[in-house]
Amino acid sequence: MKRRHIAIVLPLFALLWAVALPARASDSSQLMTALKAMPAQADKFRSMMSDLNASQFHLVNAAGLTDSADIRTSLKKDASQLSDLRETLSHTTVTGADGVVVPLRKVLLTKNVSIDQVIGIMVGTDGQITLFYQ
């Protein structure tokens, strides 16, 4: 009986653990695409702001990817757009799994990410939002 419970709980725990961990970017092309399209992606995000939930957000750690000269140049060139995106994110609220509306800042902090670490955004056609951070 005890082993059956473990057999049920262990895969569920592994699934929850995998979902809770931030994703890692596989290559810099995703980040570069997000940086080049930042104004359009930020506008898409703003159009969705009235109906966001916490499960729509996926985090990608791009710390190792910012070593690319192209990405560093893009981040410097688009500093004002990045500042604007961060300002928008700081005023964003989302509905949590429990139905309570909370600031996005709090959701990110539960994953040890601050809004100041965000360097890009990509809004998918399915409504999923990827935030790149470093």
Extents of the domains making up the chain: 23-133
Exposure class string for 34-67: b at 16+ Cβ within 10 A, else e? bbebbeebbebbeeeeeebebebbebbbbeebee
Please state the φ and ψ torsions of residue 133, each to the nearest 5 degrees.
Answer: -135, 160
What digits encode the pLDDT tens for the residues 62-99? 988 777 788 888 888 889 999 999 999 999 999 988 99
How many C-beta neighbours within 10 Å does residue 75 have?
Answer: 18
Determine the Cα–Cα distance for residues 5 and 47; give it in Å rounded to an integer.
45
- Spatial CB neighbours of 114, under 8 Å, sequence gap ≥ 6: 105, 108
pLDDT category, 1, cuts 50, 70, 90?
low
Tell me what pLDDT residue 6 has. Answer: 52
What digits encode the pLDDT tens for the residues 5-64? 555 544 444 433 444 444 444 447 888 889 989 999 999 999 999 899 999 999 999 988
